[in-house]
Structure 1
Amino acid sequence: MSEGTPLIEERDGKVAILTLNNPTKLNALSQEIRDRLLVVVPELVRDPGVGAILITGAGRGFSSGGDFSKSSAARSAVATREAFRSAHIWIRELVASETMVVTAVNGPAAGAGFGLAMLGDYVIASQAAFFRSGFPTAGVAPDYGLGWTLPRAVGSVRAREILMGNRKIDAAEAGRIGMVTRVVPPERLMEEALAAAHALAGAPYAMGMAKRMVRRAFETTLEAYLDEEAFSQAVAFASEDFIEGALAFQEKRPPAFRKI
């Protein structure tokens, strides 16, 4: 990995791998990292050759959250709002797009780093990982979408306790309460995360619709949801993915899907 590159960008077939590269600060989200994410994420979700994005951290941490080393003084509310609006551009892209996202949490994930970890459709955690909100001690509100993603993973009662209590959640507990997809030994983390990303990248339309429909389940009525389900299936059955999947089944071979 390049020591001076804030965000390492690699490709493994249909999987784009992004590695936060600020290891001396446990991958605190420096301005350089945030600027690069703002450029790279929208490009990747629009790239027909990318079916999944895998996000991890260099060294022993996933991300310690915001980098306050250069801005200890209070900023104006307007400046802070505009800074977060920039971050929200690529956060919306990750969540709302049909591109699958895997986060490989290799170590501490705190504050905004916790929020980033929870943006994954799959969250694969090393046994060495842990999570902490950090917001109460920093005197700030939860960010990077954490107040939206965490209740959907663990329920609102438990999410309040995690966010407001600032309690350290180790990987084992995260697995027990359904906060992460699974927990694996540290030496197998990237192997497992990459395998998951390739599996999710396999059928782009089907996976993208599943991602969208799970999200919509929390946002709409059952009647509206079922109408959307019927529409999605109507489009799916007329898609190249379905034709290829049916043909592959008949010919007893793996399907060769393409991103739509």
Structure 2
Amino acid sequence: MTEYQTISLEQSGPIARITLNRPEAANGMNNTMTRELADAAARCDSDATRVVVLTGAGRFFSAGGDLKDFAGAADRGRHIKGVADDLHRAISTFARMNAVLITAVNGTAAGAGFSLAVTGDLVLAAESASFTMAYTKVGLSPDGSASYFLPRLIGITKTKELMLTNRTLSAQEASQWGLVTEVVPGAELTARADQLATQMAATASGSNGAVKALMLTTFSSGLEEQMELEGRTIAQRAESAQGREGVDAFMAKRKPDFA
């Protein structure tokens, strides 16, 4: 286990588990937490890690930015910008790494906690989880990639509704909106996340990274540009060790070994 003040990072074979660990502060994000989260993400961005499970300790996934921390800063704007920059660095790394990010939303995800929760490649939510933007309630604006991912996940109209009205979605509503992959009973969340992580750890990490990369460009590329990227990417995968193993295993009617 890597020692941090506000999060924990545990590595078990190809699976890393990151826990937001300020339960006494609803896992609020201060400058220490986002800096440590960015560092943990960088540590996970290696061939040794195929899956990252991200969850929260206690009743909250994360209540978002730590307003008490923000209020005490001498230069509030500069302080918050630094917190956001580190959070964005973590999210960028999670989005571009080959490892699959599973977010296990154990409770309330508000503000930047909501933003972070839905960046998961696979999003699991406890039945008791809830999701709310909450930024405009305190005169702030969204961060944590919310203005990028939410419109792509649910469209502009529903994104504006969430951001302007601060509507709270239950886990089931979030699933119906397309923000959550799967809703599970709270007592089963950890076990389900571990089960899914084990399943994904046996898959081809390079192929998973290729899927993630293609999804990041799909709304910015034209049809021909995206198809050319698909062609180049699948050709690269076909030449890779994992690609060769996958095809050879299929032809031999055996299970592939992507380790």
TM-score after normalising by structure 2: 0.92
Per-residue deviation at 1:143? 0.8
1:63 deviates by 0.4
Q: 1:90 is matched with which residue?
A: 90
Q: 1:216 and 1:198 mapped to 2: Cα distance?
A: 28
1:49-128 correspondence to structure 2 within 5 Å = 49-72=48-71, 75-128=75-128
Cα offset, 1:76, TM superposition: 4.9
Higher mean alpha-carbon deviation, 155-164 vs 30-39, is at: 30-39
Superposed, 1:219-238 pairs within 5 Å as: 219-238=220-239
Structure 2 equivalent of residue 214 of structure 1: 215
Structure 1: unaligned runs, 5 residues or longer: none
- Please give the alpha-carbon distance, in whole angstroms, between the structure 2 residues aligned to 1:208 and 1:57: 25
Deviation at 1:172, TM superposition (A): 0.9
SS in 2 for 1:102: strand
The answer (yes or no) to whether the contact 1:95–1:119 under 8 Å persists in 2 is yes
Give the letter aligned to residue 217 of structure 1.
Answer: T
Residues 32-89 of structure 1: per-residue CA shift (max 9 Å, x gap):
22221121111211x2110111100011110011112233257354444344223322
Q: Give the aligned partner of residue 190 of structure 2.
A: 190
Identify which range, 166-175 or 28-37, moves more after superposition.
28-37
C-alpha spacing 1:71/1:83, structure 2 compared with 1 (3 Å): closer
Distance 1:58 1:180 in 2: 19
Helix, strand or coil at the partner of 1:71? helix
1:252 offset after TM fit, Å? 4.2
Per the alignment, residue 47 of structure 2 pairs with 48
The residue aligned with 1:139 is 139
Q: Which amino acid aligns with 1:185?
A: P
Distance 2:249 2:122 in 1: 26
| Whole-Å separation in 2 of the counterparts to 1:140 and 1:84 | 12
- Could you say what secondary structure the match of 1:53 adopts? strand
Tell me, what secondary structure is at the counterpart of 1:54? strand
Helix, strand or coil at the partner of 2:36: helix
How far did residue 245 of structure 1 move? 1.4
Would you say 1:204 and 2:205 are equivalent positions? yes
Q: 1: distance between equivalents of 2:30 and 2:169?
A: 24
Is the CA contact (8 Å cut-off) linking 1:200 and 1:207 kept in structure 2?
A: no
What amino acid maps onto 1:49 in structure 2? A
The answer to whether the 8 A contact 2:135-2:163 is kept is yes
Residues 79, 68 of structure 1: alpha-carbon distance in 2 compared, 3 angstrom cutoff? closer
Kept after mapping to 2: 8 A contact 1:66/1:112: yes
CA deviation digits over 1:101-148, x for unaligned, max 9?
110000000001111101101111110100010101111110111111
Is the 1:61–1:106 contact (alpha carbons within 8 Å) kept by the matching residues of 2? yes
Structure 1 residues 60 and 2, CA, compared in 2 at 3 Å: closer, same or farther?
Answer: farther
Percent of aligned pairs with the same residue? 32
Alignment partners' CA distance in 2, 1:107 and 1:251 = 45
State the one-letter code of the partner of 1:92. S
* TM-score, length of structure 1 as denominator length: 0.91
Report the secondary structure of 1:191's partner residue.
helix
Aligned mates of 1:71, 1:139 — CA distance in 2: 13
Distance 1:237 1:59 in 2: 44
When residues 88 and 3 of structure 1 are mapped into structure 2, their CA distance, relative to the original with a 3 A threshold, is closer
Q: Note the 1:175-186 alignment, pairs <5 A.
A: 175-186=175-186
Q: Structure 2: which 5+ runs fail to align?
A: none
Shift of residue 246, structure 1, vs aligned partner: 2.5
CA distance in 2, matches of 1:171, 1:92: 25
Instruction: Quote the RMSD (CA, aligned, Å).
Output: 2.1
Q: Secondary structure at the match of 1:39?
A: helix
Aligned residues: 257
* SS of equivalent to 2:67: coil
